[in-house]
Structure 1
Amino acid sequence: MAKHKHKPGSSTNKYSKYKINGDNLTKGKTCPKCGPAVFVAEHKDRISCGRCGYTEKLKQ
C-alpha cells in the first residue's frame, strides 16, 4: 500500500513581525538574553522568549 502525501503546512507570517512606517522599518521586541535573532512573544500581561524562557511582566 502506498503512503499518502502530506499537505504542505501553513507558512509562517514573517511579514507580520515587521512594521513599515514611511521609510522606517521596525521589528518586534527581541530577547535580551538570546540576542537580536530571536523575537519574544507579546501576551497581554507579559512578554516571553520561547527559546530561553525569559519572561517579563508588563505593568497595567
Structure 2
Amino acid sequence: MGKKKEQPIDLNNIEPEEKLKYEIAEELGLLDRVAEHGWKSLTSKETGRIGGLLNKRKHKN
C-alpha cells in the first residue's frame, strides 16, 4: 500500500484554532514541511513549540 497523499489545506475554510496552528507553523518556518508531509513529519520538539505558542496565544485573548 502506498502512503496517503495529504489534501491541500484551505486556510479560509477551517476552524480558527486550526488556522492559528498553521499560522504558528508558518512563523516557525515549518509550514512547507507540514503541507508536503503532514503534521507527523515534525519532531516532538517542533510540535511542542507549536503547542506552547498556541496555548500562550489562546490564553492571551
Question: TM-score, length-normalised on structure 1?
Answer: 0.31
Q: Which structure: larger Rg?
A: 1
Give the number of the structure whose residues are more often helix, by fraction: 2
Higher relative contact order (CA 8 A, sep 6+): 2
Give the number of the structure whose residues are more often strand, by fraction: 1
